[in-house]
Amino acid sequence: MSVEVSHYKKKKSKPEKDLVIKTDKVSLPSSSFRFAAIAGIAVLIAVMFLISWVNFAKRPAGDSNSQFQYFEIRKGESTLTIGRELENLGIIRSKFAFYLVSKLDGKKLQAGHYKISASQPMDEILEKFENGKLDAYSVTIPEGYRVLQIAKVLQEKGGVDPDKFIEAAMGTEGTLFPDTYVFPFDLPPAKIVRQMRGNYDKKTGSLRVTPEQLILASIVEREAKTDDERPKIAAVYKNRADQNMLLQADPTVRYALDTQTYLKNKSLDFDFWRAITRSDYQNLNSPFNTYKQKGYPPAPICSPGLKSILAAVNPENNFDYLYFFHDKNLQIHFSKTLDEHQKLIKEFGLPGQN
């Protein structure tokens, strides 16, 4: 029996012309949008990190046992420079954080001396700098100032009671070393004297200055106009003392006269170190009148600087002159005899002469 098999042939159907197939198409973000998003996230992270870092940097750089110290902000000094110095001293954690916080908060830092510590947070230090809450003052004592003048300067700069300072400084003339100091406000006068005297000991300790040399140095300080004159002037006065001559040093006479003026009026409001007259030294009875008393006066007449002290310790060698004067142009002239001295004065004149 035969079986017939029929094969089915599928006809290829033609698509209808008007048939439209719609699909839901998803649009992916553009590359510029993706970059902006990433950048925004990065900025946000950076800002959060910066805030966190600044908050950390504002914390005290040290512990509660950190010692206080005096810090100076100089006039015109930049905020970044101040921050750098504070960072170097270990008082703050970061100069950049100090600068950033200061600028963002609009801080205007005041010049002066402040007592601060690494135990303080940065905000507290900045507030003190902005308010100008000074804790100390700077004072420069010029070379050749005597105790009375130093008392006047300290009164003007730091409000120090001049009478208490003069009392504390009794017997220290010549040893309050001329220098620039930073003293806390309300520091007792006795401690000021101690610091200045300690500075003298430190600066002159290796020189082994004798009392006589210190007296000579104080006279040289008041006489010399230039540094190269100092050893020569020291030699002249030493030569006169060695030959038992009168020193005839004008500054010693003025020292005594100014002392009398102060004791009479109990006031420091007068001009120190004015030129003396013939009447001054002829009528003055004082151991400091070297026109009448031979040898050195009993004590220094001022605080000499280091160069004058060195000149007194090491006067000019082989300098056998006995007289000197400054002419009307402040040029110095040395002589070996009185006759030569008087001739030079007549030729070149004295200060104040036409």
Which CATH number is 103's domain given?
3.30.1490.480
| 8 A C-beta contact, residue 179 and residue 153 | no
- Among 20-24, 159-163, 235-239, the range scoring the smallest mean pLDDT is 20-24
User: At what angle are helices 95-104 and 122-131 packed, to 10 degrees?
Assistant: 60
Examine the domain organization and report whether 179 and 75 are in the same domain. no
CA–centroid distance for 144 within its chain: 19
Examine the domain organization and report whether 155 and 270 are in the same domain. yes
Domain of 103, in residue numbers: 68-134
**Residue given tokens 């719609």 in the structure block:** 22
Count of structural domains within the chain? 2
Q: What is the pLDDT of residue 8?
A: 46
How many other C-beta atoms lie within 10 A of the C-beta of residue 141?
19
Q: What is the pLDDT of residue 3?
A: 47
Q: What is the pLDDT of residue 158?
A: 95
pLDDT digits (tens, 9 = 90+) for 242-299: 999 999 999 999 999 999 999 999 999 999 999 999 999 999 999 999 999 999 999 9
Examine the domain organization and report whether 183 and 72 are in the same domain. no
Which contiguous run of DSSP H or E holds residue 226?
none
Radius of gyration of the chain (CA): 41
Q: What is the pLDDT of residue 28?
A: 56
Collect all residues with Cβ–Cβ distance below 8 Å to 85 and sequence separation of at least 6: 71
pLDDT band at 343 (very low <50, low <70, confident <90, very high): very high
Name the percent of the chain lying above pLDDT 70: 91
pLDDT for 347 beyond 50: yes
What is the DSSP annotation of 117-158?
A: ETTS-HHHHHHHHHHT---EEEEE--TT--HHHHHHHHHHHH
pLDDT band at 27 (very low <50, low <70, confident <90, very high): low
pLDDT band at 38 (very low <50, low <70, confident <90, very high): confident
Q: What is the mean pLDDT of residues 304-325?
A: 98
pLDDT for 159 beyond 90: yes
| 8 A C-beta contact, residue 180 and residue 143 | no
Is the pTM value of this prediction over 0.85?
Answer: no
Domain boundary among 134, 169, 189: 134
pLDDT band at 20 (very low <50, low <70, confident <90, very high): low
3-state secondary structure at position 351: coil
pLDDT for 336 beyond 50: yes
Q: Is residue 225 part of a domain?
A: yes
Q: What is the pLDDT of residue 44?
A: 74
Q: Is residue 341 part of a domain?
A: no
Examine the domain organization and report whether 180 and 290 are in the same domain. yes
Of the two residues 353 and 159, the one the predictor is more confident about is: 159
Q: Is residue 102 part of a domain?
A: yes
pLDDT for 308 beyond 80: yes
- Among 131-135, 216-220, 286-290, the range scoring the smallest mean pLDDT is 131-135
Examine the domain organization and report whether 93 and 172 are in the same domain. no
pLDDT band at 22 (very low <50, low <70, confident <90, very high): low
